[in-house]
Amino acid sequence: MSAVVMAVSQSATHTFIKPNHASIRLVTGLGVADDAHMGVTVKHRSRVARDPNQPNLRQVHLIHAELHEELRGAGFVVTAGQMGENVTTRGVDLLGLFAGTRLHLGETAVIEVTGLRNPCVQLDHFQPGLMKAVLGRDEHGNVIRKAGIMGVVLTDGEIRSGDPIRIELPPEPRQSLEPV
């Protein structure tokens, strides 16, 4: 299966659910145009409260459509954009990527992966039990965060549903994703 953008979402306000759009524009060093999380410094409210001057490593949020399917199998009703993501993908093992991986989306846009999304209690406000459903444990008891990945925009571009995704791994040694 080829890697593809399934949906794109954006919201100008700090809403949990981001409405789907025909396309979104990625802006170098800032994020998704007209999105509440766009900016050089952090925009997520909990992080702003801690330090409003820290760099925004969470400009773009990506979730794999396969997670939505897994959640539906567990009785949740979740579609693209409802977990706050900007880009919903298919055919990419997002959680298996490395920090510094570059995702080429559509004709020109490039996102650099910065880390994992750390699920928050807002998931349970959306649907009770959802936060627990996006957390798991590996065979060693380590927490697995399944709620997608975060990235920064390296190159401008417009992206839309159906656009191809090309993966460019970082040079070795590679670092596993950590929450950002």
The CATH number for 99's domain is: 2.40.33.20
For residues 163 and 180, give the distance between their C-alpha atoms in angstroms, rounded to a whole number: 26
Supply the range of the domain harboring residue 88.
4-165
Q: Per-residue pLDDT tens for 75-112? A: 999 999 999 999 999 999 999 999 999 999 999 999 99
pLDDT tens track for 121-152? 999 999 999 999 999 999 999 999 999 999 99
Asked if residue 70 belongs to a domain, the reply is yes
Decide if 131 is inside a domain.
yes
The DSSP letter of residue 169 is P
For residue 178, being part of any structural domain is answered with no
**Is 21 inside any structural domain?**
yes
In the structure encoding, which two tokens stand for residue 6, read together? 């399934």
Split into its structural domains, the chain has a count of 1
- Inside any domain, residue 147: yes
Query: What's the whole-model pTM score?
Result: 0.96
* Residue 55: inside a domain: yes
